[in-house]
Chains A and B, each alone.
Chain A
Amino acid sequence: MNRKVVITGMGIYSCLGKNLEEVKDSLFNGISGIVFDPVRKEMGFRSALTAKLDEPDLKKELTRSQRVYMPEQAKYAYCATRDALKHAGIDQEFLDKNEVGLLYGNDSSADAVVKSVDTMREKKDTTLVGSGAIFQSMNSTVTMNLACIFKLKGMNLTVSGACASGSHAIGLGTLLIRSGLQDCVICGGAQEVNPFSIGSFDGISAFSTRENEPTKASRPFDKDRDGLVPGGGAATIVIESYESAVKRGATILAEIIGYGFSSNGDHISVPNVDGPSRSLNMAIKDAGIDIKEIGYVNAHATSTPVGDRNEAKAIANVLGDHKPEVTSTKCFTGHEMWMAGASEVVYSMLMMKNNFIAANLNFENPDEDSAALNIPSERVEKKFDMFLSNSFGFGGTNSTLIVKNID
């Protein structure tokens, strides 16, 4: 069995906006979500740059007993999923009557861990940690919360693949549907934004220190990039078999036609060229397309010197003479890590559906490798019907998705 897999709904909660329309406008108008956070500086951060987003107040729509198990990223994921289901035209009755799956990328829940350990150390009494801490502390916190809130009955699993988590979640969901094991899967990625979650990342000097110019700090592919900016939030897409979508009378937005993956088998933090190239080639082969059909590449490029350079080489090697626009939306959002693979599919979908490619902000001068790519520093008004999205992570995990527009 090899069924067609389509996207029928999307939802997002990010530093670019709290819904699809707001996010589309930010992308269209070139509005960055990056700020300087003085709290981080007081905490001893090397770089106090971060994406800025408010934690949603869910008191009016979720009970205390639903909220108490949710860390911030689960709240973001709830908002994105609530909106994606609505966008897909899926109500609670459908979820009750069908085995809808859930695959969500998440790879940390530091805030809850730190706070509960602080309480245990100070009070020497585990009861005082409270009932929510265990559920908030686990990597699977997002899927356990969403599955209970939406009463889901299918696959229920967190995908932890570092900064490729969200992309792998979509890829694995695609495989489940293709194979006939699931008809509909809610896929996504979530990322906590609190300082505790990324202090250790700051400690390895991975972040940009361009603190005097927050919106210019994330500059993927630019010659003067000096590191990434951490971001977060959550993004959800609803994917289902073509037959399921037609049966429901759903609006079909796009088709996921390719999923590729690979492992570098190399350094824990330094990406190489071979691993990503194999992921790209696998996705293209899986999609069965001519590479000239690819109208846009949403790169992983996080604005780190080595990562962007090696990805530029991989893209140039694989696409050869074909030069579609290549951008990294991390110039707007910073690196949304566990969320990025899912949010960047949403960003790319918004651009594809609205006939534009957002500017690669801050791309002022190419380096030797990015010069080989077609990277627009200004917004491009263009209709395209297929995009490729890369996500790579620590440990050398790589994921590539190819999505085709359906009008």
Chain B
Amino acid sequence: MGNLELISKVNEVLAEEFEVEVETISADANIKETLMLDSLSLVDMVALIESEFGVKIKGTEVTTIKTFDDLYGFISERIAA
């Protein structure tokens, strides 16, 4: 999966799950604010990324992922590894 394709897919699944317009997602936007996540729905985001991309985000790692760009980078790194 290319980088642009990955970004597009991540945005698409997140927008659908958390019921926001995909256009509201931008690389430097804060994930929690954009998707209106609280501590519980953050769990759903972690589960979604794991089920869609096979990438597990540990509890300590999730706190380092602030923006969508952080998330794209995390996923592509893990996929490459």
Interface residues of A (CB under 8 A from B): 59, 63-65, 68, 125, 127-132
Give 12 A-B pairs besides A59-B19, A127-B46, A129-B47 with Cβ atoms closer than 8 angstroms.
A64-B17, A68-B44, A125-B50, A127-B43, A127-B47, A127-B50, A128-B47, A128-B50, A128-B51, A130-B43, A130-B44, A131-B41
- The CA of A128 and the CA of B38, in the complex, are separated in Å by 17
Does B27 reach chain A (CB closer than 8 Å)?
no
Residues of A within 8 A of B79 (CB): none
Q: Is the CB of A64 within 8 A of B43?
A: no
Residues of A within 8 A of B44 (CB): 68, 130-132
Q: Which residue of B lies closest to A63 (CB)?
A: B19
Interface of B is mostly: helix
Q: Which residue of B lies closest to A59 (CB)?
A: B19
- The CA of A132 and the CA of B47, in the complex, are separated in Å by 12
Q: Which residue of A lies closest to B51 (CB)?
A: A128
Q: How does the 8 Å CB contact mask read for B1-41 relative to A, with 1 for contact and 0 for none?
A: 00000000000000001110000000000000000101011
- The CA of A64 and the CA of B40, in the complex, are separated in Å by 12
Q: Is the CB of A131 within 8 A of B43?
A: yes
Q: Is the CB of A65 within 8 A of B50?
A: no
Residues of B within 8 A of A63 (CB): 19
* Residues of B within 8 A of A (CB-CB), count: 14
- The CA of A372 and the CA of B39, in the complex, are separated in Å by 61
Interface residues of B (CB under 8 A from A): 17-19, 36, 38, 40-41, 43-44, 46-47, 50-51, 56
29 sampled A-B residue pairs with Cβ under 8 A: A59-B19, A63-B19, A64-B17, A64-B18, A64-B19, A65-B36, A65-B38, A65-B40, A65-B41, A68-B44, A125-B50, A125-B56, A127-B43, A127-B46, A127-B47, A127-B50, A127-B56, A128-B47, A128-B50, A128-B51, A129-B47, A130-B43, A130-B44, A130-B47, A131-B40, A131-B41, A131-B43, A131-B44, A132-B44
- The CA of A129 and the CA of B36, in the complex, are separated in Å by 20
A268 to chain B, nearest CB (A): 38
Q: Which residue of A lies closest to B37 (CB)?
A: A65
B47 to chain A, nearest CB (A): 5
- The CA of A65 and the CA of B32, in the complex, are separated in Å by 13
Residues of B within 8 A of A64 (CB): 17-19, 41
A124 to chain B, nearest CB (A): 12
Residues of A within 8 A of B43 (CB): 127, 130-131
Q: Which residue of A lies closest to B17 (CB)?
A: A64
Residues of A within 8 A of B47 (CB): 127-130
Residues of A within 8 A of B50 (CB): 125, 127-128
Residues of A within 8 A of B17 (CB): 64
Residues of A within 8 A of B38 (CB): 65
B48 to chain A, nearest CB (A): 9
- The CA of A356 and the CA of B28, in the complex, are separated in Å by 65
- The CA of A56 and the CA of B78, in the complex, are separated in Å by 40
- Residue of B36, B40, B46 most packed against chain A (CB within 10 A): B40
Q: Which residue of B lies closest to A69 (CB)?
A: B40
Residues of A within 8 A of B18 (CB): 64
- The CA of A65 and the CA of B45, in the complex, are separated in Å by 12
- The CA of A127 and the CA of B57, in the complex, are separated in Å by 10
Residues of B within 8 A of A132 (CB): 44
Q: Is the CB of A68 within 8 A of B46?
A: no
- The CA of A130 and the CA of B50, in the complex, are separated in Å by 11
B42 to chain A, nearest CB (A): 8
Residues of B within 8 A of A131 (CB): 40-41, 43-44
- Which 4 A-B pairs have CB atoms at the shortest separation, nearest pair first? A131-B40, A131-B43, A64-B19, A131-B44
A146 to chain B, nearest CB (A): 18
B68 to chain A, nearest CB (A): 19
Residues of B within 8 A of A128 (CB): 47, 50-51
B33 to chain A, nearest CB (A): 14
A375 to chain B, nearest CB (A): 51
- Residue of A68, A128, A132 most packed against chain B (CB within 10 A): A128
- The CA of A125 and the CA of B51, in the complex, are separated in Å by 11
B53 to chain A, nearest CB (A): 13
- The CA of A319 and the CA of B79, in the complex, are separated in Å by 75
Q: Which residue of A lies closest to B48 (CB)?
A: A130
Residues of A within 8 A of B36 (CB): 65
Q: Is the CB of B41 within 8 A of A68?
A: yes
